[in-house]
Amino acid sequence: MADPILQVRDLHTHFFADEGVVRAVDGVSFDLFPGRTLGIVGESGCGKSVTARSILRIVERPGRIVSGEILLRRQTGAVVDVARLPVDGPEVRAIRGGDIGLVFQEPMSALSAFHTIGNQLIEAVRLHARLNRKRARERAIELLAMAGIPRPADRIDAYSFELSGGLRQRVMIALALAGEPRVLIADEPTTALDVTTQAQILTLMRRLQQQRDLAVILITHDMGVIAEMADDVVVMYLGKEVEKGPVDAIFHAPRHPYTRSLLRSIPSVLARPRSRLATLSGSIPHPFARPGGCPFHPRCPDKLTGLCDTTVPAEVVIGEDHATACHLYTTQDAKVPA
């Protein structure tokens, strides 16, 4: 396997509010390889999007990266720690869009309603390439066509509110690829889209990845999308990674109780008619009232009283490239669930 293009090491991103400190990302590490898709999965509020924004250094105040490394192998071959660069410096601005593209979660919010999609694309193209406006417009039309938008020469002068949700998402993908990045971060790219459009967007992303040898970070709460798209998976809960490994290991041999609960909640065609879906009891704790010990222990069906509620579990290697942070695998006399 080639060297990783992106390495995140023990990343911590906190928000400092008057009421207290929110540890939105509280120790996340992973490697991203060219041509592969890393899926980051978890419930809303687990820190997935803040992880993506940390990589691009676009975390809004009062949030900031407090520790950790974000090692990016740039096109020149040099490795830089993005977490140490000045947030408004020229190198970070070149990385955003140039080395790493981002597909935002809400296209309607990310796209300007006061400018045509063509003006927004042309601006993105000229930001990373020395082209005059005519050539940049031609390149923008090429990007729209590449993203599967019909009649791109006509649609380039449309406004975002004139397009359907699926077309807006395709425009977002075209914008993300305007600077020809080698890393693409897609934050919930199929949210609020119908099933048919979701399949089209995922097929488009897979095709573009194969054509450009893109390294993709796919952020979602949909385990079905993860199963279809991801090569490797990071499962996050309350800002921490609780399990990570190859997608086959995560789906066929999940180790952490949270991962197993997420998988049990997926509807199955083999389920009995009118049977209730399995649910995960409770909800994510309030960010100012984090539980002690393992963050998942208040909702965990397999918790070890006296241990899980007092001690943060260390990460344990289960198999090749498969690891989990759970006391069930650090206590010899604990029975490991099948």
Q: What is the H or E stretch that residue 65 is in?
A: strand 63-73
What radius of gyration, in Å, describes the C-alpha atoms of the chain? 21
Asked if 24 and 47 count as a contact pair (C-beta separation under 8 A), the reply is yes
Strand partners, 69: 9
Amino acid in position 17: A
pLDDT of residue 159: 92
CA neighbours closer than 13 Å in the CB half-sphere of residue 242: 29
Per DSSP bridges, beta strands 322-325 and 100-103 are unpaired
Give the span between the Cα atoms of 325 and 317, in whole angstroms: 9
Asked if 2 and 196 count as a contact pair (C-beta separation under 8 A), the reply is no
Q: For each of the chain's 338 residues, which pLDDT tens digit applies? A: 678 999 999 999 999 988 889 999 999 999 999 999 999 999 888 999 999 999 999 999 999 999 999 999 988 888 999 999 999 899 999 999 899 999 987 777 888 889 999 999 999 999 888 889 999 999 999 999 999 999 999 999 999 999 988 899 999 999 999 989 999 999 988 877 788 888 999 999 999 999 999 999 999 988 888 999 999 999 999 999 999 999 999 999 999 999 999 998 877 766 677 777 777 788 888 888 889 899 999 999 889 999 999 999 999 998 888 999 999 986 543 444 44
Give the span between the Cα atoms of 297 and 148, in whole angstroms: 45
For the four alpha carbons of 75, 77, 78 and 84, in that order, the dihedral sign comes to positive
Main-chain phi, psi angles of 277, to 5 degrees: -70, 145
Determine whether 227 is exposed, middle or buried from the number of CB atoms within 10 Å of its CB (0-12, 13-18, 19+): middle
Main-chain phi, psi angles of 335, to 5 degrees: -85, 120
Give the span between the Cα atoms of 326 and 153, in whole angstroms: 54
pLDDT of residue 320: 82
Structure-token match 């509010």, residue found: 17
Peptide bond into 62 cis (omega under 30): yes
Determine whether 304 is exposed, middle or buried from the number of CB atoms within 10 Å of its CB (0-12, 13-18, 19+): buried
**For residue 200, how many other CB atoms are within 10 A of its CB?**
17
pLDDT of residue 234: 96
Helices (H), the chain: 48-56, 90-98, 107-110, 117-128, 133-146, 152-155, 165-176, 195-212, 223-229, 247-252, 257-264
Asked if 204 and 173 count as a contact pair (C-beta separation under 8 A), the reply is yes
Give the span between the Cα atoms of 143 and 181, in whole angstroms: 13
